[in-house]
Structure 1
């Protein structure tokens, strides 16, 4: 396949027309049109529908653009690095991260990263859903307790704990039989007991307040709305000030945060330095110490 023709197709597709692509690149519209026609003939499919109203990608054209745009960008970066004799991280870096972690930490991390690597433009998208790195053109994803995926590689950079907290005026139940308590929970709460400190205290949460955000759950607990099971990383300041009291640490697997990227792509310098930067930001693997 002619990479120049493929590059010109991406150029026309991203600029949504031959005219804009020609002005952006300095390549004549006739040359761009001919190269795209040659690419269509080679592939045996139509990539662009041409009409008096302009150009529109076909289904095949859309698929080709999404699957190759990021790869061509990384190949271009690699060739530039080789030509310069260096591997300076540069270009646009798209990161998908959980909403809560984004709100608490990614603003500072993004600013510090850009200061350290001024030739990188970073975009951070707060996404709790499972994004597809290739289809949605993300370079990196930060995930909590990710399932094994042969298409992804990465590193665990931080750990957290789930703790039950309440306002100081709410009396902690005495260990013994299962204790029912008024609870503040998230919208997706599924009924189950909270087992603390290896089984020393078992609580039956009776939902009284439901929120879609863990930060709202924490604030409602501070206001005395009931007990809440939340990450320690979003409560340690309030615990230190005495706004909240910790009843215990929840038993079970602890939340871990991983920074992942696809193993099917070139390991671009911008991805490598971001992974290293994020891991160095949490040298003790603790979100609490870096909250």
Structure 2
């Protein structure tokens, strides 16, 4: 395959048209059009749908663009590293992290990484939704128990579990009466406020009556410390308050083990910046235990 033609194809795909690509690269539009046509002919595939006013990738073109763009970037980085006399990580690294991890630990993680790798421009955004890494331009995402995705690979770097906690002033009811509870949620759906039962480790049951719904686990923790009700929280978030006596443990939630994963696009050559960040996570959390994260957050 002609790598120059492949590079021209990704240039056109990235800019959404031959004219815009030609202006951005200061290249003749006719040359770009000819090279893309030659690539299509060599592959016996149509990579673009050419309309009178618009240019759109075909399904095959999009698949090629997603893979070729990453590979060409790796080739450029490898050539630059060789020219510089080593594989020093440099350039932009864009990461998406979940809200709780971002609020409690990501600032320190990002700062220590930036100090260790001054040639990397790290940008972190916070969101709990499942972002599309390729479409939205992320190099790595951190997620809690992510659903399988054949386009992504990754590794678990932290473990946690969920516990039921309350203020020491809140009495545990006798006879199975429901206890007021703080839940995580927006409070919109009616079912959010429905009384329910939490199953604890060992099979014990705790009847709960939600009285407050909050969208952040950090807010849930603060509300529980104020004594309004019980809540389910990660050990890492509750450990400091449990040790200080501001919260008491009512039990572990059954089957509540969770894990934080660092995910990145599946590719043969791992981006040097992503590799550096993965190594940094491993050095920061060598055991990956909940208590390790709790100590890091409190430090």
On whether the aligned pair clears a TM of 0.5, the verdict is yes
How far residue 184 of structure 1 moved from its aligned partner, in angstroms, is: 1.1
Match of 2:158 in 1: 158
Match of 2:198 in 1: 193
| Separation in structure 1 between the aligned mates of residue 275 and residue 57 of structure 2, nearest angstrom | 35
Pairwise mapping of residues 70-85 of structure 1 onto structure 2 (< 5 A)? 70-85=70-85
Long gaps (5+) in structure 1: none
| Separation in structure 2 between the aligned mates of residue 50 and residue 111 of structure 1, nearest angstrom | 48
Match of 1:183 in 2: 181
Give the secondary structure class of the aligned counterpart of 2:206: strand
Give the secondary structure class of the aligned counterpart of 1:258: strand
Match of 1:118 in 2: 118
Give yes or no for the alignment of 1:231 onto 2:234. yes
Give yes or no for the alignment of 1:255 onto 2:254. no
Match of 1:27 in 2: 27
| Separation in structure 2 between the aligned mates of residue 19 and residue 151 of structure 1, nearest angstrom | 31
How far residue 217 of structure 1 moved from its aligned partner, in angstroms, is: 1.8
Give yes or no for the alignment of 1:283 onto 2:289. no
Contact 2:92 2:121 in 1 (8 A): yes
Match of 2:225 in 1: 222
How far residue 260 of structure 1 moved from its aligned partner, in angstroms, is: 3.1
Q: CA RMSD in A?
A: 3.2
| Separation in structure 1 between the aligned mates of residue 179 and residue 108 of structure 2, nearest angstrom | 37
Contact 1:66 1:136 in 2 (8 A): no
Match of 1:209 in 2: 212
Give yes or no for the alignment of 1:57 onto 2:63. no
Match of 2:39 in 1: 39
Contact 1:165 1:247 in 2 (8 A): yes
- Cα distance, 1:240–1:263 mapped onto 2, change above 3 Å: same
How far residue 276 of structure 1 moved from its aligned partner, in angstroms, is: 0.9
Contact 2:46 2:58 in 1 (8 A): no
- Tell me the TM-score normalized by structure 1: 0.80
How far residue 284 of structure 1 moved from its aligned partner, in angstroms, is: 4.3
- Cα distance, 1:45–1:91 mapped onto 2, change above 3 Å: same
How far residue 206 of structure 1 moved from its aligned partner, in angstroms, is: 1.8
How far residue 230 of structure 1 moved from its aligned partner, in angstroms, is: 0.8
Long gaps (5+) in structure 2: 186-190
Match of 2:188 in 1: none
Contact 1:179 1:202 in 2 (8 A): no
| Separation in structure 2 between the aligned mates of residue 215 and residue 103 of structure 1, nearest angstrom | 8
| Separation in structure 1 between the aligned mates of residue 9 and residue 241 of structure 2, nearest angstrom | 55
Contact 1:70 1:137 in 2 (8 A): no
- Tell me the TM-score normalized by structure 2: 0.79
How far residue 229 of structure 1 moved from its aligned partner, in angstroms, is: 0.8
